[in-house]
Amino acid sequence: MLSFILRRIGLLVPSILGVTLLAFSLIRLVPGDPVEVMVGERALDPVMHAEALHRLGLDRAFYVQYADYLGQLAHGDLGQSLVTHDSIRDEFTTLFPATLELALAAMLFAMCFGLLAGVIAAVRRGSWLDQSLMGLSLTGFSMPAFWLGLLLIMLFSVRLGWTPVSGRIDLMFDIPPRTGFMLIDSWMAEQADPANNAGAFRDAALHLVLPAVTLGTIPMAVIARMTRSSMLEVLQEDYVLCARARGFSPARVIWVHALRNALIPVLTVIGLQVGTLMGGAVLTETIFSWPGIGKWLIDAILRRDYPVVQSGILMIALIVILVNFMVDVLYGIVNPRIRHVR
Amino acid sequence: MTLRTVRSCTDTTIIEGVSPILSFWRDFRANKGAVTGLGFLLAMALAAIFAPWVAPYSPIDQFRDAMLTPPSWARGGSMRFVLGTDEIGRDLLSRLIHGGRLSLLIGLSAVLMSMIPGVALGLLAAFFPKGAGPVIMRVMDVMMALPALLLAIAIVAVLGPGLFNTIIAIAVVSIPGYVRLVRASAVSELSRDYVSAARMSGAGTLRLMFVTVLPNCLAPLIVHATLNFSTAILDAAALGFLGMGVQPPAAEWGSMLSSARDYIDRAWWVVTLPGVTILLSVLSINLIGDGVRDALDPKLKHTTS
């Protein structure tokens, strides 16, 4: 087991280095040089131009700059935003919990309904229920997520007035940021100050529902399809027949005996969906004005705040790499056969 | 589904000698969803190709007297604008038809521009497992570490928005998929006897790559290309929606949705119709992809992408 984990860590190092190189090169690939781009249309004094290049360290050799950049990263220094002049690391750590909360809620939604739909479709294979569930999941898979978000807003916020349109919580609540997770923070605030913050938790939950559904739809469709095909395979195994023959109830055979083994490939797919979630978060956060790192990144791109773009992309890639690594290790634990395959 | 599998197996034994294209078509035709998808896609492609003649108006003509006219079947709508007009009085149907042009163009070019380098790199990686292979695969791992849409956004952020840069960005992010797929199937083909036989009879590496091995990797490649086509259309719409794709006033489905956001409380049609069009075209391509997969290789039936 240890050698398996070590081997995976060995594979991790070149990927991480590669991602830093990618994030680093990005800003250097901008046509013209970054100083000109930042200044924009205005003419720039050549002396000041050279000074600015020197100050940003852009006049040195590429590999020197890269080594420097790695050194900074090793100290946890992500640089400064050109617009707000705040530390990028601080901005990231403030905004990241919002994205994490949204992604977790979306994943929870996707897993509950995806697994349920997949298992039902597999058990009722070939029936109209199977066909309509799979038709629905193919539709979900083909859905432009940003449009789904707009539709949900149009229906639930504009027409029915059930849910708020944007943000994480109503402005009338005063929620001290303790964990960064609005659900927890609002609950704590409600407990601490019931007079002013009554209903804060409910409000935070209502804000979360539509974005989570929007973001979770594609992963849900993928999980449903994968669960169905994986269940179909497992249901034909001898041990399932054996469990049936021993007189276990059909529900127990399906949900305990079969699903447990069918989950192994589903787990990998769930791990792979983390990338999709991060990509989808950019769109979802833009639609719902959700103050997370996706919206932060898009705003930075539109404002040409290149250091933020660079670090944002780096951090998201690192998160995806780490999650996939953890899924790999988990997979090795669940399925011992994997450990010995090179 | 069991029935169909059995039937298609017997079919192939009976019709031995029939061209593979014909037997493929027989299997494909049996899949109702796939045929519906193909029909819709063909209709859309025809409308896109002949857009200037099919569309009732120019996509950028503004009818200032008829801003935000509802579709013909809704209250206040007229047959003058069948699907209604947008916020500056442009005919929605004409814009959707012309948008189909852009989407299909982006999809097709992105698929071609990622498939060709992807296949070449994948074959290289499979044929040189000691030299170029690991390097190529590590680079692909890095590209795959970033969510495709995010990498595309980053590329557009560097290159600037526009039609051509959208195509490039989507093509670049699609390359790793092809490389991995082609490498995996080429590696498994390389251990087959027919490859050794070709090698014994003196076939060069290039010939082995493209004439001996590649044709045997085509089935999964075609399926992947179909799915890639639909993802490309989705990603192009997402880029357009974020204001980083094809720029207005060009009629692009994603950017149409982005400007429709402001009218979400007044004009349901400008929000709904472009989205329905995107959904239907992506769905029809995915249906075709499923049908192609089932027809090409019954073994692949139980795998999902």
Question: What integer pLDDT is reported at residue A43 of this predicted model?
Answer: 64
HSE, CB side, 13 Å, CA atoms: give it for residue B144: 16
Residue type, A255: W
Residues of chain B with pLDDT under 50: 1-15, 301-305
Residue with tokens 């069948």: B82
Question: What integer pLDDT is reported at residue A1 of this predicted model?
Answer: 73
What is the C-alpha to C-alpha distance for residues B19 and A43, in angstroms, rounded to an integer?
68
Q: Which of residues 173-192 of A touch B (CB under 8 A)?
A: none
Q: Which residues of B touch A269 (CB under 8 A)?
A: 304
| Cα–chain center distance at A50 | 40
Question: What integer pLDDT is reported at residue B226 of this predicted model?
Answer: 92
Q: Which residues of B touch A148 (CB under 8 A)?
A: 275
Question: What integer pLDDT is reported at residue B168 of this predicted model?
Answer: 94
Cα–Cα distances (Å) from B280 to B2, B10, B44, B51, B109, in that order, read 28, 34, 10, 18, 20
Sign of the dihedral through C-alpha A76, A80, A81, A82: negative
Peptide bond into B249 cis (omega under 30): yes
Question: What integer pLDDT is reported at residue B6 of this predicted model?
Answer: 44
What is the C-alpha to C-alpha distance for residues B154 and A27, in angstroms, rounded to an integer?
10
Number of neighbours of residue A285 by Cβ within 10 angstroms = 26
DSSP letters, A123-188, are HTTTSHHHHHHHHHHHHHHT--HHHHHHHHIIIIIIIS--S-SSSSS-TTS----SSS-HHHHHHH
**Across the interface, which of B2, B153, B278 has its CB nearest the CB of A147?**
B278
Question: What integer pLDDT is reported at residue B268 of this predicted model?
Answer: 86
pTM for this structure? 0.85
DSSP letters, A184-235, are HHHHHHHHH-TTTSTTHHHHHHHHHHHHHHHHHHHHHHHHHHHHHHHHHHHH
List Cβ neighbours of B255 (8 Å cut-off, separation of 6 or more): B240, B241, B243, B245, B246, B247, B248
Question: What integer pLDDT is reported at residue B12 of this predicted model?
Answer: 46
Contact B98, B105 (CB under 8 A): no
DSSP code, position B70:
P
> What tokens does A236 get?
């034909």
Interface membership of A283 toward B (CB under 8 Å): yes
pLDDT digits (tens, 9 = 90+) for A107-160: 999 999 999 999 999 888 888 998 899 989 999 889 998 899 999 988 888 888
Number of neighbours of residue A41 by Cβ within 10 angstroms = 5
Q: Which residues of B touch A313 (CB under 8 A)?
A: 146, 150, 154
Q: How many CB pairs under 8 A join A and B?
A: 140
DSSP code, position B69:
P
What are φ and ψ of residue A7, in 5° steps? -65, -40
Question: What integer pLDDT is reported at residue B154 of this predicted model?
Answer: 86
Residues of chain A with pLDDT under 70: 30-44, 56-58, 337-342
Question: What integer pLDDT is reported at residue B65 of this predicted model?
Answer: 81
